[in-house]
Amino acid sequence: MKGLLSALCFGVGVNLILTATPGLCDTPSRSAQDLDLSPEILKNSPVLQRWRRQVPNVLEDIRNDPSFPTKIRLGYSYFSSEQAFGVNVSVQDVFIGRTGLTVSGEYQATFNGQREAYGADLHYYLRPLGSYINIAPVLGYRHLEINNDSTDGVNLGAKLLLVLSRGGAADISLTQSWIAPGTGEEVGLTTISVGYAITHHLRIPTEIQQQNTKQDKDTRLGMILEWIP
């Protein structure tokens, strides 16, 4: 009987010790600081440094990392109605922070001085920036001058973007907008652009833009060289 009591007391004592020190029998986990890596490897690896601070949410990063880049464009244009050639300069999709809001600006003119257009637009992409399909309302300002007839006003519309390869390697965009909508000077703009990369920083897009007014229609064909910063 005395032996049984001794065994019970010993078991209760061990249990009290383990309860008071819950990590005593646990297998210690190895943190990033415990990795058997030389200091030079850790110093020269931004990825390892980031993982040591906090394990990233890779899926969330992919969803929010833009699938399309900012682009600086210089192009050569042909206007079918006047059989005139011209130049096109623009900056596309300058990101405002990590939001879906971007700003774009454009200038185009013919060499004969009969046509000039310029303006800037805001795009707000409704889906995560890493999506392969995205849509954005367009709000901006446009000035359009054709043969001394000019139109100024709000540019309102929408843009559909299809990303065929992330990072700007290939994409297709369709934009429909109206300058001064609802007025007697309203001009409709339908733009289709197909872009593909030839190097990491250079792309060659082709662009077709239909300009519709109440008096006339015109088509602009563009061959463009784009630089990705």
- The domain ranges of the chain are 29-64, 71-227
**Is residue 36 very low, low, confident or very high in pLDDT (cuts 50, 70, 90)?**
low
The whole-number pLDDT of residue 45 equals 75
First to last CA, the chain: 86
On the question of pLDDT at 25 being above 50, the answer is no
Fold of the domain built from segment(s) 71-227: Porin (2.40.160)
The whole-number pLDDT of residue 57 equals 67
On the question of pLDDT at 26 being above 50, the answer is no
The whole-number pLDDT of residue 55 equals 67
Q: Of the candidates 187, 179, 207, which has an alpha carbon nearest to the alpha carbon of residue 195? A: 207
For 120-169, how does the pLDDT look when each residue is reduced to its tens digit (9 = 90+)?
Answer: 999 999 999 999 999 999 999 999 998 878 889 999 999 999 999 988 89
For 46-83, how does the pLDDT look when each residue is reduced to its tens digit (9 = 90+)?
Answer: 767 777 776 666 677 667 789 999 999 999 999 987 78
Contact 211, 117 (CB under 8 A): no
Mean pLDDT of the chain: 83
Q: Of the candidates 187, 204, 186, which has an alpha carbon nearest to the alpha carbon of residue 195? A: 204
How many other CB atoms are found less than 10 A from the CB of residue 95? 16
3-class secondary structure, 205: coil
Q: How many residues does the chain have?
A: 229
Range in 110-124, 184-198, 212-226 the model is least confident about: 212-226
